[in-house]
Amino acid sequence: MDYTPEVLRNKGVPVKLAKIRKAEDDWTPIYSSDGELETEELHVRFTHNVIADIEETWDGLADWQEAMESKPVSTLRRTLSLIFMEPVDKIGGMLIEGRLPEYSNAIGTAWALANGVDPTVASRMLEAAEIQVDSQIETLNQELLTALGDAEEKKEKPSTPGKKRSPSGAKQTKDTKTSGKQAPPKS
């Protein structure tokens, strides 16, 4: 993605979204003949109209920011709906799985730009965030592969009981003298 200061200043923060079509009940992604998800690049930008819509939707900017923390995905989806002027369910269909951190970074950076952050600083911030997200995904993938390997190894080595079975009945413990032993006959 092009995170140059000029793009950020003039267009906004680029995000990749899925191309979708309306199905019976929901929006479904469009795939190419190769099976690849078709995407489009849109730009997240907070205009005064979008900011005013956010104030109206969440009863103020403080409530919007609180909602971003307490309900991050639904708030992100609704915020993008306001920015792109599309229905909430359509935006939800356009969100690509596994890219929530990128969308959150785009909203945060666009908000910073709307509040006067220098696009050069924002550009560096986005590039660093992209590296961090890629690193987190790579770490998660490695941990999952390790866990899968461990699970496969345990499957290959089933636990087997010992060759000699224990005698049935009560067992004597080290703390008692009569546990598991038959009592002597009474005279």
pLDDT digits (tens, 9 = 90+) for 103-137: 999 999 999 999 999 999 988 888 888 888 778 88
Query: Please, are residues 40 and 16 in contact by the beta-carbon 8 Å criterion?
Result: yes
Distance from C-alpha of 20 to C-alpha of 25, rounded to nearest angstrom: 13
Residue 180's pLDDT band, with cuts at 50, 70 and 90, is: low
Token digits for 168?
């049935």
- pTM exceeds 0.75 for this model: no
Residue 174: pLDDT band with limits 50, 70, 90: low
pLDDT in tens, 4-60: 888 989 999 999 999 999 988 889 999 999 999 999 999 999 999 999 999 999 999
Percent of all residues in the chain with a pLDDT value above 90, rounded to a whole number: 55
Tokens of 138: 């790579």
Higher-confidence position of 92 and 5: 92
pLDDT over threshold 70, residue 172? no
CA dist list (Å): 32 to 16, 24, 39, 76, 164:
16, 20, 10, 27, 62
On the 0-12 / 13-18 / 19+ scale of CB atoms within 10 A, 163 is exposed
Q: Is the pLDDT of residue 145 over 80?
A: yes
